[in-house]
Chains A and B, each alone.
Chain A
Amino acid sequence: MQKMEEAWWDQFRDGHIGIQLCEKCAISQFPPGNMCRGCGSQTGLSIHALGNEPVKVSAKTVVARAVTPLAERSVPYILATFCTASGVRITLPTCRVKTVRERNIDGDSTQVRKTMEAMRDAGQTLEVTVCDCERLLVPHVSAMECGVKK
């Protein structure tokens, strides 16, 4: 048996961003857990991929200075918080988000930030899918290696 967290990162490695759905109350949640934080149910929880669900940008930040080894190797990078229509929030490095990358394939962090800002201002929705880009954050905790080759 695998830890739930490890299973989530395995799926991420395969290109899926997992959101947990509670069958009992139909609430989705992220991060996943062994109980529904809405109704308390401990059964009927399943992970489905965010893939086709439209999301909006609700926050973003350009990390320019860092102190931890992983982040220090990766600066500058952008983290963005995306929000689904059902209110689930998930924060990801935008270099791993296909939609964002496709529009700024050669963009520097300022350009990416401006694009994200424009998307948010316009209330535009986007699909968040994981891309296998080369410029990415590599988790420094070995159990959580996201596995995409650098």
Chain B
Amino acid sequence: MTLQTDPQIVGVGETKVGKHPTETPNSLATDVARKALFDAGRDWADIDGLIVMEPIVDKHPRHALAMAETFGISSNLRFAQTVNMGGASPALAVKQAFDAISAKAANNILVIASDTPRTGQDRKESVAYFSNQRHPWWEQPIGMLNVTAYGLLADEYQHRYHLEPESMLSIPVALRAHATKNWNAAYTDPLSYVDARQSRYVSHPLRLVECSPINDGAAALLISAEKNQNSKPGIGIAGSGFGTDYDSYTYRLDRQEAAGARSAKSAIDQSRRSVGGGDLLMVYDSYSIAMALQLESLGVSEPGQAANDFANGRFNVDGDLVVNPHGGLLSHGHCGGAAGMHHITELVKQLRNEADQQVSIENGYAYYQAEGGILSANATICFEYLEK
């Protein structure tokens, strides 16, 4: 018997992150979609909505429809969308799926992110893809790369709070320790402070270990308003927010409020609960500085203190508030156009008590904070575990 419910995440599917030289974004997408359907006890025939992230490799002009035809569900869809908001895309896609279901535009939506920027093309080309997003008139001509914009933010941040250039190495070191126990993570060799200090500079003060490495991988979620007797407990949304800012670093104004703080405030107000001990926290950690700034936008760390909190073990798996137990983009890996999706699938597995490295989530709540561009598109979602 099928029951009609509020929208909730009912299925997840993941691939390992790393090298998939014999796969394409579409073949990985098929794999994770099938896993998400199996996890939820559903069938392809149930799917009437599809939201996909735009990949770097094998991008189609209407990517959602191109993916639908590989699944043979082209004529079944009532809702289809391709999301392209950089790192904020998976969070926005999930929110969009919940909204579409609430508006009765669809009943069962697959949300899929899949990309092969590591082996699907020259890896250097994939890294350049991000730098080619810098402003064509004001940034590319002066040699501003993606990492350079973050390097400038990191330098300004460290100057403001009198921090040493090496102070943020606690972030990649802590996240690597998390990744070593995750089956799907790309980087599982231990990383010590000594190793981190030997890592070369990419854009001073950022070292290579502070920049998320490009990899292949995919993940999918099934979001549905239907439950049956085989369904696992669902994951709902208690509150969410979105905040935008300048798209190019060059347009950034002096000392303006972080858009991530606006997005966090909206999610906190809606859910009527702030992020705190006993919760799980997932943060889109494209760079160490992105992690630090977002933790401070959420009000979790005091200004200038995020890296110090990491160094003190506050965000470790046995800490007060666990952050990115899968290892984050910095060690689990950054899957190009799919980056950030594994944060959400990990969050679902954690709330369901099914994770590789299960942490204790006393309250049944998990926050996800994400950013795309140069902290340009900011999304916050407070997820909640729903009883069966």
Q: Which residues from chain A sit less than 8 Å from chain B, CB to CB?
A: 5, 8-9, 30-31, 58-68, 70-71, 74, 77, 79, 81, 83, 87, 89-93, 113, 120, 137, 139-141, 144, 146
Contacts of A58 in B (CB 8 A): 156, 254
Interface flags, B110-125, vs A, CB<8A=1, else 0:
0000000000000010
Known: A61-B204, A77-B143. A91 touches B151 (CB 8 A): no
Measured CA separation A77–B142 after assembly (Å): 10
User: Nearest Cβ distance between residue A59 and chain B, in whole angstroms?
Assistant: 4
User: Nearest Cβ distance between residue A71 and chain B, in whole angstroms?
Assistant: 5
CB contact list, B133-161 vs A, under 8 A: 135-145, 148, 151-156, 159
Contact present for A68 and B200 (CB under 8 Å): no
Which residue of A92, A113, A139 is within 8 Å of B204 (Cβ)?
Answer: A113
Contact present for B203 and A64 (CB under 8 Å): yes
Measured CA separation A79–B151 after assembly (Å): 10
- The total number of A-B Cβ pairs within 8 Å is 110
Interface flags, B172-212, vs A, CB<8A=1, else 0:
00000000000000000000000000001111111010000
Contacts of B204 in A (CB 8 A): 61-62, 64, 113
Contact present for B143 and A137 (CB under 8 Å): yes
Measured CA separation A59–B145 after assembly (Å): 15
Contacts of B124 in A (CB 8 A): 67
Which residue of A81, A113, A144 is within 8 Å of B141 (Cβ)?
Answer: A144
Measured CA separation A141–B140 after assembly (Å): 8
In the assembled complex, B45 has its CB within 8 A of some CB on chain A: no
Which residue of A68, A90, A139, A144 is within 8 Å of B145 (Cβ)?
Answer: A68
Measured CA separation A65–B152 after assembly (Å): 15
Contact present for B142 and A65 (CB under 8 Å): no
Contact present for B254 and A63 (CB under 8 Å): no
CB-based nearest A residue for B208: A65
Measured CA separation A8–B249 after assembly (Å): 18
Contacts of B128 in A (CB 8 A): 67-68
In the assembled complex, B167 has its CB within 8 A of some CB on chain A: no
CB-based nearest A residue for B157: A59
Contact present for A68 and B148 (CB under 8 Å): no
Contact present for A79 and B156 (CB under 8 Å): no
